[in-house]
Structure 1
Amino acid sequence: MDALTIDTRIGVIGAGAMGAGIAQVAAQAGHPVYLYDNRPGAAAAAIDGIVRQLGTLVEKGKLDAAQRDATLARLQTVESLEGLARSGLIVEAIVENLAVKRELFQRLEDLCGEDCILASNTSSISITSLAAPLKRPERMLGMHFFNPAPLMALVEIVSGLASAPALAARLYETAKRWGKQPVHARSTPGFIVNRVARPFYAESLRLLQEGAADCATLDALMREAGGFRMGAFELTDLIGHDVNYAVTRSVFDAYYGDFRFQPSLIQKELVDAGRLGRKSGRGFYDYAEGAQRPAPVELCSGAEVATCVVEGDLGPARALVPRLRERGVRVIERPGSGLIRVGDAVLALTDGRLASQRARQDGLVNLILFDLALDYAEASRIGVAFAADSSYEARDQAVALLLRAGLAVSPLADIPGLAVMRTVSMLANEAADAVLQGVGNAHDIDLAMRAGVNYPLGPLAWADRIGLDHVLRVQENLLHSYNEERYRPSLLLRRQHATGRAFHG
C-alpha cells in the first residue's frame, strides 16, 4: 500500500504541543496542513511557535530558509471543523477523554469524504472503543506520535478491532515518508511503549521501597552500567509524577489489576504531596535554585590485587577478561561454572537469587554478586551485593578488582536480581508477552522501545545477547524469591528457551 500522496490535505485537531508538532511534521513532509483548535487564537499561536522553532533550525544551519518558508506556506488555521472537510487524513490530538473524542469523530465522519482516514494520537484510549459508534469504523486508527513530535522518531500505527489493514499499511508508509520510524501495534492497553516500559519505572521504585539503594545510586547504575540515558527517578521527575502515575494506573486498571503493572505507593505519595518533579520544583530530586544533586554511593578499597582466576565462561560478562588484562591484571583461565576468584572472594554475575541464598545453595564462600552491564568493555560503573557471611577482606578484594578494571563500584542491598539485570529481564519478559499476545512483532517492539523511549537496545535483542537461559533463570528466581505473579515468566520466553530459538535470527 502506497503512502498518501503529497497533495493530500492533512487536518490536525488540537493545537497543543502534540498537535502543533504533528502539524509541523506533516507540513515539512510537503503536505498542505490545516490546524484547528476550539480555543480562540490557539491555532494561530501554535503556528507562531512553529515559526520560532523553524527559525531556530535555520539559525543553527539545520534547515535552509527556503525550506522554512515552504513549510510555513503549507500551514494554515481553520475556524471550524467544516474547514477540514476536504482532508484525506485527520489526526486528533485533544484531551484524553473517550466521550469527547467519540463525539468529535462522529462529527468528522459526517463532515468528511468516505476516503478520509480518521486517526487519533491517543496514548491510552482504545481505538476499538473510539471507532465503535462510527458508521464506518474500519477507517479509524491510532497514529501515536511521541513528544516532541518533530524530534522523536517513533510513530505507533494502532489498529482497532475493525480497522482496515490496508489503511494501517497506508499510514505506516506515510509515516515512513514523513521521516519517522513507524511500528504496527494492536489496540491493547498502553499499545507497545506505554505497556512494555512499565517495568523500567516499577523495578527501580520497588528497589527504592525495599531499601536496595538510594535514588542517585540506582539512577547512576541504570545510566552508567545499563546504558540508559536516564535512570527511572530522573525520568519520572522529567515526565511528571502525575502523568507517569496516571499512565501506570490506567494500564493496571485496564489489565484488571494484573500485578505486573501495580502502581507504586512511593510515587503516589509524591503525587499526593504535589511533588511532581521538575515542573513543581521537587520530585525525587530537588530542583530549587542552588540545590545540590546527591552523588551515587561508591565503595573504595585499600587492597591490592594483581591476579585473578576466571573459571569457565562468564557469559554476558566475558568482556571483563580483556578489560582486566588491559589494566595489568594477570588473568588465569580454567574450566568452571562462570566465576571469578580473587584472594578469598568469589564473584559471579547475578542469576536472580539473593547472594546469601546462592552462597548457601551452591556452597560458595565469600560470594559477591555483580550486576548486568550493557557493555562490560565500556561500562563505567557496576553494582554489587554481598552474601551475609562474606568477610570484610573478601569484600575489599572483590571491590579492588573491579576498581582495577576501571569501574566505579556501587553497593546494593542483598536483593534478588540486583538493579540492571532485574530491570532488563522484566522489560524482556513484558516484551515477550506483548509478542505472545499479538500486540506487535519482535522487530517492531524492539524498534518501538529504541525509537520511542531511547533504550540502548531493544529488550528482546538484549535478552538474546544475555542468553534466554539466563533471562529465564533470573525470572524464575525472582518469582521464587517474591512468590508474586508480577514476576511470572512469559510463556513465550519459556517456549523460545525450550526450542533453543532467539527472538531475533
Structure 2
Amino acid sequence: MGQGIAQVALVAGHPVRLYDSARGRAVEAVAALTARLDRLVEKGRLDATAREAAVGRLHAAEELDELADAALVIEAIVELLPVKQQLFADLEKVVGDDTVLATNTSSLSVTAIAGGLRLPGRFVGLHFFNPAPLLPLVEVVSGFATDADVATRAYATVKGWGKTPVRCADTPGFIVNRVARPFYAEALRLYEEGVADPATIDAALRDCGGFRMGPFELTDLIGQDVNEAVTRSVWESFHQDPKFTPSLAQRRLVESGRLGRKTGQGWFSYADGAERPEPHTAAPAKAPAKIVVRGDLGPAEPLVGLFEEAGIEVRRKRGAGFIQLPGRGELMLADGETSFEYHREEIVYFDLALDYARASRIVLSTREGTAPETLGEAVGLFQALGKQVSVIGDVPGMIVARTVAMLADLAADAVDRGVATAEDVDTAMRLGVNYPAGPLEWAAKVGHQRLSGLLGELHERYPTGRYAPSLGLVRRGYAEYAKDSR
C-alpha cells in the first residue's frame, strides 16, 4: 500500500521519500516504484518525460532523520497499535511542529494512535483504498484531537492528487468498513438459515440488486480471514453491538483454511477446471394473460409498465399495494413478513430491485404448501419480462430488500451520530466498494418509511436488536411522512 500511495503523490508532482525500518527495503521500494512507472509508460498511461521527472523526485530515506523537512508523512505499516504509536513518537522528535502526520490505518483508532503525541492536533487519518493508484476514494479521518485546519489541509492535498476525499470522524470502520458490514452479514445470515445457497444469494444481489459482485464471491476475493477479521474488529469496537455480529459459518470457513481464491477454496472452488455452482433458476412457466394491480406498488411500480409492454393485460383497482394473480395468489413486495403468516391467502413475495427494467433476475419467496399453480403464475409473470427467476425459502425481508434496509440503517445512523455527511457516506460507498447507489440515495428512492417498517418487522421476528431501526432512519421516515401529508 505504501508504494501505491507514494505513486499517487509522485505522479501528482510531489517530491517523495520512502522510508522503511528494515535497512535496504527503501531502496528496493524505489526500484519497484520506478518499475511501476516504466510499465505505465509502456501502456501509454504516462509519457516518458513525466516518468523522468517523477523518478527525479523519488528518493530512498535510510534514516528517519532524512524526513526532517517533510511537510506530510503518511504511515502505511503493520496494523498494530503499539508499533504505530512508537513510529509516530520517533517521527515527532525528527519533523517540524508544522508537519502533518497521517496514518493509513483501516482498522485502528486514529485517536489512539495519536494519544501519546506531544502535538496530537497535527495527526490525521488518510485511509486510501487498495490499489491506491486506481481507486479514487480516500477517507480523511479526524481523531478526537485533530485540528480542523489539519484535516482541511489533508483533504485539499489528496484532492490535488486527483483523489475523491470524504471527511469522517474517528469511529470503528470509519465510513466504508462500518456501513458495508450488512452486505456480507445478511448474506451469511440467510445462508445459515438455509434460505438459499451462496450462488443464488450472490446472483440475487448481483442480477437483481445491481451490485457488481455477490458477497460470497467478493469475500472469496478479499480473503475470508481478512473479511472476518474486519467484521470482528468492528463488532468488538462497538462493544459487541448485535448489528455487527460476526458469522459462525464464516468463522468455521476460516478455521478450516478455506480462505478463498488465495487458498484455492472458499465458498467456491478455484481449482483448475472447477465449475462455479449455478444459482437456482426456475423452469419455464406460462405467464398469466391478465393481472390486477391493487393500489400503488411503491418502488415496484415500474413493473406495471413492463407488464403492459410484455402484452399482459393490467387492470388497476384500489388496494394495499399488491398484484392479484388470476388464481388465488397474490404477489407482494418484500416487507419483512413471511407468507406462512397468511393462513388463508396464497402469498408469493418478490424481492426489491435496484431497477426492475434492467434487472436480469427476480427473486420469489413463498411458504411450503403454496399451490404449484400459484407459484407457476408468479414465475411465468416475471419470465414474460425476460427475467430469470429464483425461488428461495420463506424468509422475512428476502435478500436484496433486507440488505438494502440494513445498509440504509447503518448509513443513516452514521450520519445521525456525526460520523460523516449523507453526501460523503453515499460517495464513500459508491467509490470505496462500488455500490450501484449510495445507501441513503437508495433509501430515498425506496422510501425511508418502507425500510424502517421492514426492519421493524424483522425486529419482531428476530428480537436480538440486530434489526431494530436506528433513530436516524426512523427520523427520516417521519420527515418523509410529514412531507407526504402536506
- The TM-score normalised by the length of structure 1 is 0.93
Shift of 1:219: 0.4
Matched, 1:89 2:62: no
For residues 53-452 of structure 1, what are the structure 2 equivalents within 5 Å?
53-344=36-327, 345-357=329-341, 359-360=342-343, 365-452=345-432
Shift of 1:502: 10
Letter aligned with residue 198 of structure 1: R
- On the 8 A contact 1:300/1:400 being kept in 2, the answer is no
Q: 1:498 to 1:278 in 2, by over 3 A?
A: same
Deviation per CA, 1:293-340: give whole Å up to 9, x if none: 111110123324222222221111111122222222222223222211
Choose which of 403, 421, 440 in structure 2 pairs with 1:460: 440
- On the 8 A contact 2:81/2:108 being kept in 1, the answer is yes
In 1, Cα distance between equivalents of 2:48 and 2:370: 66
Letter aligned with residue 450 of structure 1: R
Letter aligned with residue 433 of structure 2: V
Matched, 1:43 2:23: no
Shift of 1:74: 1.8
**The residue matched to 1:485 in structure 2 has which SS?**
coil
- On the 8 A contact 1:127/1:160 being kept in 2, the answer is yes
**The residue matched to 2:437 in structure 1 has which SS?**
coil
Aligned to 1:5: none
In 1, Cα distance between equivalents of 2:169 and 2:324: 49
Letter aligned with residue 135 of structure 1: R
In 1, Cα distance between equivalents of 2:256 and 2:63: 41
- On the 8 A contact 1:496/1:502 being kept in 2, the answer is no
Letter aligned with residue 431 of structure 1: A
Deviation per CA, 1:464-505: give whole Å up to 9, x if none: 0001111011110110111111111001111121122799xx
Letter aligned with residue 24 of structure 1: Q
In 1, Cα distance between equivalents of 2:432 and 2:235: 21
- On the 8 A contact 2:364/2:390 being kept in 1, the answer is yes
Shift of 1:61: 2.9
Q: 1:325 to 1:67 in 2, by over 3 A?
A: farther
Q: 1:106 to 1:483 in 2, by over 3 A?
A: same
- On the 8 A contact 2:449/2:476 being kept in 1, the answer is no
Letter aligned with residue 238 of structure 1: L
Structure 1 alignment gaps of length 5 or more: 1-17
In 2, Cα distance between equivalents of 1:404 and 1:60: 46
- The TM-score normalised by the length of structure 2 is 0.96
**The residue matched to 2:466 in structure 1 has which SS?**
helix
Q: 1:60 to 1:308 in 2, by over 3 A?
A: farther
**The residue matched to 1:143 in structure 2 has which SS?**
strand
- On the 8 A contact 1:356/1:389 being kept in 2, the answer is no
Shift of 1:287: 0.6
Shift of 1:422: 0.6
- On the 8 A contact 1:342/1:401 being kept in 2, the answer is no
**The residue matched to 1:199 in structure 2 has which SS?**
helix
Matched, 1:22 2:5: yes
In 2, Cα distance between equivalents of 1:495 and 1:147: 35
Shift of 1:346: 1.2
In 1, Cα distance between equivalents of 2:38 and 2:314: 57
In 2, Cα distance between equivalents of 1:133 and 1:444: 30
Shift of 1:444: 0.8
In 2, Cα distance between equivalents of 1:502 and 1:450: 29
Deviation per CA, 1:254-311: give whole Å up to 9, x if none: 1111111111111111111111111111110101111111111101233242222222
Structure 2 alignment gaps of length 5 or more: none
Residue identity over aligned pairs, in percent, reads: 51
Farther off after superposition, 367-376 or 387-396: 387-396
Letter aligned with residue 440 of structure 1: A
Letter aligned with residue 376 of structure 1: Y
Shift of 1:38: 1.9
**The residue matched to 2:359 in structure 1 has which SS?**
coil
- On the 8 A contact 1:468/1:502 being kept in 2, the answer is no
Farther off after superposition, 388-397 or 145-154: 388-397
**The residue matched to 2:93 in structure 1 has which SS?**
helix
Shift of 1:35: 0.6
Letter aligned with residue 120 of structure 1: T
- On the 8 A contact 2:141/2:174 being kept in 1, the answer is yes
**The residue matched to 1:57 in structure 2 has which SS?**
helix
- On the 8 A contact 2:285/2:379 being kept in 1, the answer is no
Deviation per CA, 1:403-435: give whole Å up to 9, x if none: 001111111110110000010100110111111
In 2, Cα distance between equivalents of 1:297 and 1:123: 36
Deviation per CA, 1:2-37: give whole Å up to 9, x if none: xxxxxxxxxxxxxxxx10000000011110000111
